[in-house]
Structure 1
């Protein structure tokens, strides 16, 4: 999630990885034709929220395709006013854009993790086109 001048934007990403411990770097990618790409590339900071198994609704809300989604701040913690993070997420990472690399039909965004928090719980997973959980439901 990030905050351009015209409001709060967020997107569900399906692939996220740790890259380095020193400095602490993570990555994700967005398609070249994603309408989220340009607003993100104009930012210096972004937040990553790793959702719990009870947050499928939020994942679906942020996964809407077609145009960047603007959100009210009902489920958002602005982390001292800078980086938006989802309340109740299993992990939240406050990141600074470190580098952007072209990767075929995607842009790979590398972020330097400046702070993070986590809590215990089961993560929300997406596998073979549907949501899944580690524990039995």
Structure 2
């Protein structure tokens, strides 16, 4: 059943995001495709993190996070931040701290900076819900994830 479930879910097209936060003075981030809009009033978003993730404690301790929605030309960043063995992800990409002191990747499609409002245990993952406190959008096209590949959103 799990194999079929994975086949179904990888055939469901999604965007690709890297969620970031600060762990004391060190940036932390990972690639996710579980990002979703939750509410317009107030502006709420959600994403999921595996309970076995090495980044879990940083996101658990932090009260803010940023969702960096990748642009079409950020395939390298997608896979760097998805690699659980990669220990120095931020040295391999361009980033800066936002006014809210969150690590923001450069040249992304969009960024949503959030204040964490809730964590929910859900099976082998934790669902994090955040209230959008700031957002930025560029003219880049977003990246698409489909059947374990990344591509450009078609015109």
Q: State the SS of the aligned residue for 2:71.
A: coil
Match of 2:147 among 109, 128, 133: 128
Distance of 1:62 and 1:70 partners within structure 2: 6
What corresponds to 1:92 in structure 2?
111
Unaligned runs of 5+ in 2: 1-19
Q: TM-score, normalised by structure 1?
A: 0.90
What corresponds to 2:40 in structure 1?
21
Distance of 2:86 and 2:120 partners within structure 1: 23
Q: Does 1:112 align with 2:131?
A: yes
The aligned length equals 136
What is the Cα-based RMSD across aligned positions, in Å? 2.0
CA positional deviation for 1:31:
1.0
Q: Deviations over 1:63-121 (max 9, x none)?
A: 11147655249611211261111111110111111100011111000011001011223
Match of 1:61 among 69, 75, 80: 80
Higher helix share: 2
Instruction: After TM superposition, list the pairs within 5 Å mapping 1:27-46 onto structure 2.
Output: 27-46=46-65
Unaligned runs of 5+ in 1: none
Question: Aligned in 2, Cα 1:55/1:70: closer, same or farther, shift over 3 Å?
Answer: closer
Match of 1:102 among 121, 134, 141: 121
Distance of 1:128 and 1:110 partners within structure 2: 26
Q: State the SS of the aligned residue for 1:82.
A: coil
